[in-house]
A and B are shown apart, each in its own frame.
Chain A
Amino acid sequence: QKEVEQDPGPLSVPEGAIVSLNCTYSNSAFQYFMWYRQYSRKGPELLMYTYSSGNKEDGRFTAQVDKSSKYISLFIRDSQPSDSATYLCAMSDRGSTLGRLYFGRGTQLTVWP
């Protein structure tokens, strides 16, 4: 069993829809949670970073962490065609600057106009 599970999709939604992306994990030591966005033919870029449990909001994006269920989510409100990308969850027990990250497989999202 992989330490981080993520449904690869693909996910296709109309413009303006609310998108929900999810990951589950097995290692209870994870406490740093990240979402990366990767456009086609580019490297991943950090989108959201959450420490421990709770919610974090940044514009149209909301990241949620439920450590009791070992479940994290990324919500995209009012989705736009420019949000079309692969979204990767990542997590760590020591933070991305002190140790390695564990990545999900990535979910491919297409937002059509």
Chain B
Amino acid sequence: DVKVTQSSRYLVKRTGEKVFLECVQDMDHENMFWYRQDPGLGLRLIYFSYDVKMKEKGDIPEGYSVSREKKERFSLILESASTNQTSMYLCASSSTLRQVTDTQYFGPGTRLTVL
């Protein structure tokens, strides 16, 4: 079974802190994604990566950056956390080599609260 793990289930940070959210997948997937999920707004794509050291902006990249130094790990960085970044953050991965009808596999999410 594909497993996507996220470093924390719950995280509380203060305004202005630098925050790292880590995501690891164990299936050698090429593609990795970071979303945030807010009530009434659904899933919004922040950044994604098709390969090591590659990244592309999603729909809401402002205030975020990402790092992918190894294939299995994709990090989301909040350079200076703000209260409007309080949200559920979901990581996902998928494989280009699988059939096109394969899915994106999601982690359990990190609930981030910025005070």
How many A residues have CB within 8 A of the partner chain?
24
Q: State which size class the interface on B falls in.
A: 20 to 34
Q: How far apart are the CA atoms of A49 and B109 in the complex, in Å?
A: 23
Q: How far apart are the CA atoms of A37 and B31 in the complex, in Å?
A: 21
User: Which of the segments A14-22, A64-72, A90-98 contacts the partner chain?
Assistant: A90-98
Inter-chain contact B107/A49, CB cutoff 8 Å: no
Question: What 14 new A-B contacts, CB under 8 Å, besides A42-B108, A97-B94, A106-B42?
Answer: A43-B90, A43-B92, A46-B103, A49-B103, A95-B101, A96-B103, A96-B104, A97-B98, A98-B100, A100-B48, A100-B58, A101-B104, A103-B42, A104-B42
Nearest neighbor of A103 in chain B, beta-carbon distance: B43
Q: Hey, which chain A residues are within 8 Å of B48, CB to CB?
A: 100
Tally inter-chain residue pairs, CB-CB below 8 A.
61
Q: Hey, which chain A residues are within 8 Å of B31, CB to CB?
A: 97
Q: Is A75 an interface residue (CB 8 A)?
A: no
For the residues of A in contact with B, the DSSP-based class is: loop
